[in-house]
Amino acid sequence: MTWTRALALFVLATLLILSFSSFVESAAVRDDSEPRRRQGAASQVFVPEADASAFFRRRGRRSTRYYELQAEQRLKIGQSEQRREDNEEQRNKYENYLEEERDEINERTRETNEQFREYHYDGLQPRYYWFH
Protein backbone atom coordinates (compact mmCIF):
# COMPACT_ATOMS: atom_id res chain seq x y z
CA MET A 1 0.00 0.00 0.00
CA THR A 2 2.94 2.35 0.45
CA TRP A 3 3.62 2.37 -3.28
CA THR A 4 0.04 3.54 -3.98
CA ARG A 5 0.52 6.42 -1.57
CA ALA A 6 3.83 7.29 -3.24
CA LEU A 7 2.17 7.17 -6.66
CA ALA A 8 -0.72 9.38 -5.50
CA LEU A 9 1.73 11.87 -3.96
CA PHE A 10 3.74 11.92 -7.18
CA VAL A 11 0.63 12.52 -9.30
CA LEU A 12 -0.53 15.33 -6.99
CA ALA A 13 2.89 16.98 -7.06
CA THR A 14 2.98 16.78 -10.86
CA LEU A 15 -0.50 18.33 -11.16
CA LEU A 16 0.48 21.10 -8.75
CA ILE A 17 3.63 21.90 -10.73
CA LEU A 18 1.74 21.87 -14.04
CA SER A 19 -1.02 24.12 -12.70
CA PHE A 20 1.45 26.77 -11.47
CA SER A 21 3.71 26.52 -14.53
CA SER A 22 1.29 28.65 -16.60
CA PHE A 23 2.23 31.66 -14.43
CA VAL A 24 5.92 31.23 -15.12
CA GLU A 25 7.02 32.71 -18.48
CA SER A 26 10.28 30.81 -18.93
CA ALA A 27 13.19 29.36 -17.04
CA ALA A 28 15.73 31.50 -18.88
CA VAL A 29 16.88 34.85 -17.54
CA ARG A 30 15.12 37.67 -19.36
CA ASP A 31 16.92 40.66 -20.78
CA ASP A 32 15.01 43.70 -19.55
CA SER A 33 17.30 46.18 -21.32
CA GLU A 34 14.76 46.67 -24.11
CA PRO A 35 11.08 46.65 -23.30
CA ARG A 36 8.90 44.38 -25.38
CA ARG A 37 5.26 44.84 -26.02
CA ARG A 38 3.15 41.81 -25.28
CA GLN A 39 0.23 40.89 -27.48
CA GLY A 40 -0.03 37.26 -26.55
CA ALA A 41 1.39 34.39 -28.58
CA ALA A 42 1.33 36.33 -31.86
CA SER A 43 4.10 38.67 -30.71
CA GLN A 44 6.32 35.71 -29.97
CA VAL A 45 5.79 34.05 -33.37
CA PHE A 46 5.63 36.98 -35.79
CA VAL A 47 8.42 39.51 -36.23
CA PRO A 48 8.31 42.86 -38.04
CA GLU A 49 8.73 42.74 -41.80
CA ALA A 50 11.99 44.69 -41.78
CA ASP A 51 13.57 42.23 -39.33
CA ALA A 52 12.40 39.25 -41.38
CA SER A 53 13.68 40.62 -44.69
CA ALA A 54 17.02 41.53 -43.09
CA PHE A 55 17.27 38.02 -41.67
CA PHE A 56 16.62 36.38 -45.03
CA ARG A 57 18.95 38.79 -46.84
CA ARG A 58 21.70 38.00 -44.38
CA ARG A 59 21.02 34.24 -44.58
CA GLY A 60 20.81 34.32 -48.38
CA ARG A 61 24.44 35.29 -48.86
CA ARG A 62 26.82 32.39 -49.00
CA SER A 63 30.54 32.50 -48.57
CA THR A 64 32.93 31.71 -51.40
CA ARG A 65 34.06 28.68 -49.41
CA TYR A 66 30.58 27.18 -49.94
CA TYR A 67 30.93 27.43 -53.72
CA GLU A 68 34.47 26.03 -53.56
CA LEU A 69 33.20 23.03 -51.60
CA GLN A 70 30.39 22.53 -54.11
CA ALA A 71 32.88 22.60 -57.01
CA GLU A 72 35.19 20.12 -55.24
CA GLN A 73 32.26 17.83 -54.57
CA ARG A 74 31.19 17.94 -58.23
CA LEU A 75 34.76 17.08 -59.26
CA LYS A 76 34.89 14.13 -56.87
CA ILE A 77 31.53 12.85 -58.10
CA GLY A 78 32.69 13.17 -61.72
CA GLN A 79 35.94 11.31 -60.99
CA SER A 80 34.16 8.50 -59.18
CA GLU A 81 31.68 8.20 -62.07
CA GLN A 82 34.56 8.04 -64.57
CA ARG A 83 36.33 5.41 -62.46
CA ARG A 84 33.11 3.37 -62.25
CA GLU A 85 32.66 3.51 -66.04
CA ASP A 86 36.29 2.48 -66.63
CA ASN A 87 35.97 -0.47 -64.25
CA GLU A 88 32.75 -1.56 -65.92
CA GLU A 89 34.38 -1.34 -69.37
CA GLN A 90 37.38 -3.41 -68.21
CA ARG A 91 35.06 -5.98 -66.65
CA ASN A 92 33.08 -6.28 -69.89
CA LYS A 93 36.27 -6.72 -71.92
CA TYR A 94 37.51 -9.44 -69.57
CA GLU A 95 34.15 -11.24 -69.64
CA ASN A 96 34.13 -11.17 -73.46
CA TYR A 97 37.70 -12.50 -73.52
CA LEU A 98 36.78 -15.35 -71.15
CA GLU A 99 33.72 -16.24 -73.20
CA GLU A 100 35.73 -16.37 -76.45
CA GLU A 101 38.43 -18.43 -74.76
CA ARG A 102 35.86 -20.88 -73.39
CA ASP A 103 34.22 -21.21 -76.81
CA GLU A 104 37.59 -21.89 -78.43
CA ILE A 105 38.48 -24.54 -75.84
CA ASN A 106 35.08 -26.21 -76.27
CA GLU A 107 35.51 -26.21 -80.05
CA ARG A 108 38.99 -27.77 -79.80
CA THR A 109 37.71 -30.43 -77.40
CA ARG A 110 34.79 -31.22 -79.70
CA GLU A 111 37.10 -31.54 -82.71
CA THR A 112 39.50 -33.78 -80.76
CA ASN A 113 36.67 -36.05 -79.65
CA GLU A 114 35.32 -36.21 -83.20
CA GLN A 115 38.73 -37.17 -84.59
CA PHE A 116 39.13 -39.81 -81.88
CA ARG A 117 35.76 -41.35 -82.77
CA GLU A 118 36.52 -41.31 -86.50
CA TYR A 119 39.92 -42.89 -85.96
CA HIS A 120 38.64 -45.68 -83.71
CA TYR A 121 35.46 -46.44 -85.65
CA ASP A 122 36.07 -49.32 -88.07
CA GLY A 123 32.63 -49.29 -89.64
CA LEU A 124 31.88 -52.90 -88.82
CA GLN A 125 30.15 -52.50 -85.48
CA PRO A 126 27.59 -49.89 -84.60
CA ARG A 127 28.77 -47.34 -82.11
CA TYR A 128 28.22 -48.29 -78.52
CA TYR A 129 25.74 -46.11 -76.70
CA TRP A 130 25.27 -46.15 -72.97
CA PHE A 131 21.53 -46.25 -73.39
CA HIS A 132 19.74 -49.10 -75.17
d(CA 65, CA 72): 10
Of 97, 101, 98, residue with least CA distance to 109: 101
Q: Do 121 and 127 form a contact (C-beta atoms < 8 A)?
A: yes
Distant-in-sequence, close-in-space partners of 127: CB < 8 Å, separation ≥ 6: 117, 121
Share of the chain above pLDDT 90, in %: 33
Q: What is the mean pLDDT of residues 90-112?
A: 96
- What's the Cα-to-Cα distance from 130 to each of 21, 57, 115, 122, rounded to whole Å? 96, 89, 20, 19
Report DSSP state, residue 31.
-
Where do the H-state alpha helices sit in the chain? 2-20, 41-45, 49-60, 64-120
Distant-in-sequence, close-in-space partners of 55: CB < 8 Å, separation ≥ 6: 47
Q: Give Cα 69 distance to the centre of its chain.
A: 20
pLDDT, mean over the chain: 79
Q: Mean pLDDT check: name the lowest of 43-52, 64-73, 94-103.
A: 43-52
Residue 72's pLDDT is 95
Which pLDDT band holds residue 99 (cuts at 50, 70, 90)?
very high
Question: 110-132, pLDDT tens digit by residue?
Answer: 999 888 888 777 666 666 666 55
Residue 82's pLDDT is 97
